[in-house]
Chain A
Amino acid sequence: MAEAHEPLKSTVLGAAAEARGARMAPFAGYLLPVSFSDGILKESLWCRTHAALFDVSHMGPAFIELSQRTGDPEADHAAIARLIEPLVCGDLARLKRGQLRYTLLMNAAGGIDDDLIFGRPSADPEQGKLMVVANAGAKEADFDRIRKALGGKGRLARADDGALLALQGPQAAAVIAGLLPGAPALAFMELAAAPFESATLWVSRSGYTGEDGFELLIPRALANSFFERLLADERVRPAGLGARDALRLEAGLPLHGHDIDAATSPVEAGLSFAIAKRRAAAGAFPGAARVAREIEQGPARRRVGLAVLEGAPAREGAPILADGRIVGAVTSGGFSPTLGAPIAMGYVPPALAALETGLAVEVRGRRQRARVTALPFVPHRYHRRPA
C-alpha cells in the first residue's frame, strides 16, 4: 500500500483517459479514472449491452519462473506449483495449460490476504512459467511473499509497467476478433499468448463484471495504440472504476478489502469453490485448520446478497438488523444500474442467510426493509466451454 505522502502514480493510459474527459480519483496509490463523460450509470448499462473498456493497469500482473529451467515445461510447472501452493488454498499443480484459476492468498488465521488469479501459459517459449495477477492495494506485499516462497529457486518478474485492459460485454468477442483473431476461440478462464504487430500480448477470457469479456496484458510500447484501436470501434466505450464497482457488485463478486479481508475466511465468504479438496485435506496452506473446521461445522457468518426494498442505498458499514437487533454489516452496497434499485452484500449469521429472509438495513438512523437475495444479482453470462 502506498504511503499517503507518496505522489500518486499514473498508469500508462492515464493521460489518454484524461484526454477523453475522465474524472480521476486516487485509488491504491494511483490516480485512476472513476468515470468518463457518460457517467457511471450509462457506462454500466453499456457494458451489459455492448462492450465497455476498463483500464486496470494498476493491478499487479507478474510471471513466476524457475531460476534454472529444466527444459521440461511439465517439470517446471510442477516445481513452481510446489513452491507457491503453500501460500494459497487452490490447486496449482493440476492447473492445465492455457487455464486461469481464481484462488486466495491465505494467512495463518484462515483469513484472506488477497484474491489472486493464476494462469498457466499454453505454448512455448512461455510454458513452464506461471502468471499471477494480484490486487493493486496488495501487490507489493503479495510479490514479497511470493519471492520469499520461491527462495533461491525461482524469480518473480513484474509485468505491471504496461497496460492491463478489460474489454467486457456481449459484443466484446466480436470486437476483439478484429484485433486478435484467435481470442474468440478461448472459453471462460482460458489464457493464450496472442501475436499483435511485432509484439506478444496475453489475452484471457475473464473479467470482473459478470459479462463475457477479455482481459489483455499489453507491453508498454503498444498500450496507447491498442487502447485507441479498441475505442475506435463504435461498439466500445470507455468505462471507469465506478462502473466496474457497480458491475462487480451486481455480479456478486467480492472486492478484497471490503467484502473479504484478512479476517474473513473463504467459507464465510462463500468462496469454497476456490479451496482445493486435496489441499484442505492435507492441511497444506496457512489457516487450513479453520477452513476445514468451517467446512465441517459451518462458519459463524455468511456473505449474502441483499435487495434493499425501500429508501436510500445501504453502503459499506451500514448495520444489518433482524427483529430490531444488529446482526451484521453491509460490506459493499450501492445502486444497481441494471436493476434500477439499491443492492448490497454483507455478513449475517447462518440462521439468517437463507434466501428470502426478511431483514433491515440502517441508513442514517433510518431502518429500511431488505431481503436476502441470491447472488449474483444479475446473471453471469460467461462464455463457458460446453461440459
Chain B
Amino acid sequence: MRFSKEHEWVELDGDQATVGISAYAAEQLGDVVFVELPPIGKQVKAGEALAVVESVKAASDVYAPVGGAVEAVNEALADAPETVNDSPEAGGWFVRLKIADPEEAEALMDRGQYEAFLRTL
C-alpha cells in the first residue's frame, strides 16, 4: 500500500489499483455521511478530483493518487458511508482504477515514509 501527500492510499494488483483514504484522513474528517463516487469508465489523471467525501460539517475532495480509468466503485458506501471510518484502509475503499503507468504508484510514499510525513504535520 502506498500513500499520497493528500492522504489517499493505493494498492496495486497487476494493472488494477484500489484507491481509498488513509486512516489519518478518515479520523481528521470525522463521521463520513456521504461519498460521491465517479461513473464507471471515467478517465482521471494523477492529482485530479476523483470523489467527494462528506462529513456532517463539510465536503472534501478525494484526488486520484494515480491516473487511470474507473473500473469499479465501492457500491456499499452508498448505504454504509461509515465504513470509511470503520475500515478506511480495507472495506472503506472508494474506487478501482485500471492504470496505465505503474511507476506513478512507485513514486508515492510507502507506509514508513507516510508515517514520517504525518509526524511533520
A residues within 8 Å of B by Cβ? 34-35, 39-42, 44, 242, 245-246, 311-313, 315, 334-335, 337, 342, 364
Contacts and interface: CB of A to CB of B under 8 A. Distances in A.
B55 interface: yes
Given A312-B59, A313-B54, 15 more contacts: A40-B56, A40-B57, A41-B31, A41-B33, A42-B31, A245-B57, A312-B36, A312-B52, A313-B34, A334-B57, A335-B56, A337-B56, A342-B33, A342-B34, A364-B52
Contacts of B57: 34, 40, 242, 245-246, 334
Given A335-B54, A364-B36, A39 B31 contact: yes
Interface in B31-57: 31, 33-34, 36, 52, 54-57
Contacts of B36: 311-312, 364
Contacts of A312: 34, 36, 52, 54, 59
A315 B54 CA distance: 11
Nearest to A315: B59
Contacts of A42: 31
Nearest to B49: A364
A41 B32 CA distance: 9
Contacts of A40: 30-31, 55-57
Given A312-B54, A364-B52, A335 B59 contact: no
Contacts, number: 46
6 contacts: A41-B33, A44-B56, A242-B56, A242-B57, A335-B33, A342-B33
A367 B33 CA distance: 19
Contacts of B54: 312-313, 335
Nearest to B85: A39
A81 B46 CA distance: 64
A335 B30 contact: no
Do most interface residues of chain B lie in helix, strand or loop, or is the interface mixed?
A: strand
Contacts of A246: 56-57
A242 B54 CA distance: 14
B59 A39 contact: no
A157 B54 CA distance: 43
Contacts of B31: 39-42
Contacts of A315: 58-59
Nearest to A25: B57
Among B34, B36, B57, the one with the most A-chain Cβ atoms within 10 Å of its Cβ is B57
Contacts of B59: 312-313, 315
Nearest to B81: A335
A313 B52 contact: no
Given A335-B54, A337-B56, A364-B52, A313 B30 contact: no
Interface string B64-80: 00000000000000000
A342 B34 CA distance: 10
A313 B55 CA distance: 9
A312 B31 CA distance: 14
Contact of B56 (A41, A311, A364): A41
Interface string B13-32: 00000000000000000110
Given A245-B57, A312-B36, A41 B30 contact: yes
A335 B52 contact: no
B49 to A, nearest CB: 10
A312 B54 CA distance: 8
A93 B59 CA distance: 46
A44 B52 CA distance: 23
Contacts of A313: 33-34, 54, 59
A87 to B, nearest CB: 33
Contacts of A335: 33-34, 54-56
